[in-house]
């Protein structure tokens, strides 16, 4: 396959990306999209969601659509970690919208904060701490403190995911499914492939996040990877984009993935 040109976000045509053959996998027949149709939604195995006793969510921001949709499909306890999420996050966004005289957007941010407070109650817990950085919580310690034995993990922690991969491998016997957003993929491609080789959960979905560009070598800088404890190895090979995929940024061109 020819090397694609450098991605330009001004192009209307899809951008071509190339990944190593290790990312090619069989089709998983029960995939569903959970969460937003834009950034914040992920494609995962519905069976994995239903088999889970707990959702461990690392990284929220102001979008918890995945957690809300997951709970709608499987009403299990949720432990969500993000040290950046507090009242100031929503109020700051509302103030910025107000300064631009966007009143409806201002009220939407305020409503979002109210909905956030109503959602994270009882066994749906938001912990205002970061995970993965040497200065904060370790994923290994978190999992050790959880009584559940069928855990689904969602991870979007802006680069700290690489510090959590060993903990995922060590605790893989407890995991039903995992979705991870990998950042700076061009710098860590070998690390990701090595992780997949050690991980018993199999890759079932790949999506290139078009909020980030593609390098001149064809590597997407941001990748969303979904893993399942019960893949279907005899299904046909999967190609991308999938009908379940959505562009993270609606105003940017889609990214089409090929393999080498």
pLDDT for res 6:
40
In this predicted structure, which of 92-101, 159-168, 213-222 has the lowest mean pLDDT?
92-101
- Per residue in 188-202, pLDDT tens? 999 999 999 999 999
Q: Is residue 91 part of a domain?
A: no
Contact 49, 153 (CB under 8 A): no
pLDDT for res 165:
97
pLDDT for res 156:
94
Confidence of residue 2 (pLDDT cuts 50, 70, 90): very low
Highest mean predicted confidence (pLDDT) among 101-105, 130-134, 210-214 = 210-214
Mean pLDDT over 153-166 rounds to 95
Q: Is residue 63 part of a domain?
A: yes
Number of domains observed in the structure of the chain: 1
Our separate counts of H helices and E strands in the chain read: 7, 11
pLDDT for res 5:
39
Kindly report the average pLDDT of the chain as a whole number: 89
Bridge-partner residues for 32, per DSSP?
Answer: 44
Q: Is residue 69 part of a domain?
A: yes
Q: Is residue 107 part of a domain?
A: no
Give every CB contact of residue 68 below 8 A, 6+ residues apart in sequence: 35, 119
46: closest CA among 34, 61, 58, 31? 31
Mean pLDDT over 159-171 rounds to 95
pLDDT for res 95:
87
The answer on pLDDT for 90 being more than 90 is no
- List the domain range (segments joined by +) for residue 229: 15-85+128-259
Mean pLDDT over 172-186 rounds to 97
Q: Is residue 110 part of a domain?
A: no
The label of the residue with tokens 């993935």 reads: 257
What's the pTM value of the predicted model, to 2 decimals? 0.90
Q: Is residue 114 part of a domain?
A: no
- Buried b / exposed e over 91-121, threshold 16 CB at 10 Å, is eebbeebeeeeeeeebeebeebbeebeeebe
Confidence of residue 209 (pLDDT cuts 50, 70, 90): very high
pLDDT for res 12:
62
Q: Is residue 170 part of a domain?
A: yes
Q: Is residue 60 part of a domain?
A: yes
The answer on pLDDT for 77 being more than 90 is yes
The answer on pLDDT for 40 being more than 50 is yes
Mean pLDDT over 110-128 rounds to 90
Instruction: Supply the CATH number for residue 47's domain.
Output: 3.40.50
């Amino acid at each position: 396959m020819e090397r694609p040109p450098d991605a330009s976000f001004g192009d209307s045509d899809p951008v071509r990306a190339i990944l190593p053959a290790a990312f090619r996998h069989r089709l998983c027949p029960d995939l569903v999209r959970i969460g937003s149709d834009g950034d914040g939604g992920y494609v995962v195995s519905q069976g994995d969601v239903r088999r889970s006793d707990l959702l461990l969510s690392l990284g929220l921001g102001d979008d918890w659509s995945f957690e809300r949709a997951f709970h709608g499909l499987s009403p299990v306890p949720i432990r969500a970690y993000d040290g950046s999420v507090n009242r100031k996050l929503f109020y700051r966004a509302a103030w910025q919208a107000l300064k631009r005289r966007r009143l409806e957007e201002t009220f939407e941010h305020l409503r979002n904060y109210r909905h956030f407070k109503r959602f994270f109650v009882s066994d749906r817990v938001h912990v205002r701490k970061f995970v993965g950085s040497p200065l904060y919580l370790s994923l290994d310690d978190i999992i050790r403190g959880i009584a559940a034995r069928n855990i689904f993990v969602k991870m979007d922690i802006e680069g700290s995911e690489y510090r959590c991969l060993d903990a995922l491998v060590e605790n893989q016997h407890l995991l039903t499914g995992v979705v991870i957003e990998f950042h700076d993929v061009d710098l860590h491609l070998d690390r990701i492939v090595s992780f997949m080789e050690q991980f018993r959960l199999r890759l079932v979905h790949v999506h290139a996040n078009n909020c980030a560009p593609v390098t001149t070598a064809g590597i997407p800088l941001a990748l969303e990877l979904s893993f399942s404890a019960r893949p279907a190895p005899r299904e046909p090979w999967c190609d991308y984009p999938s009908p379940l995929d959505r562009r993270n940024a609606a105003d940017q061109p889609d990214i089409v993935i090929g393999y080498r």
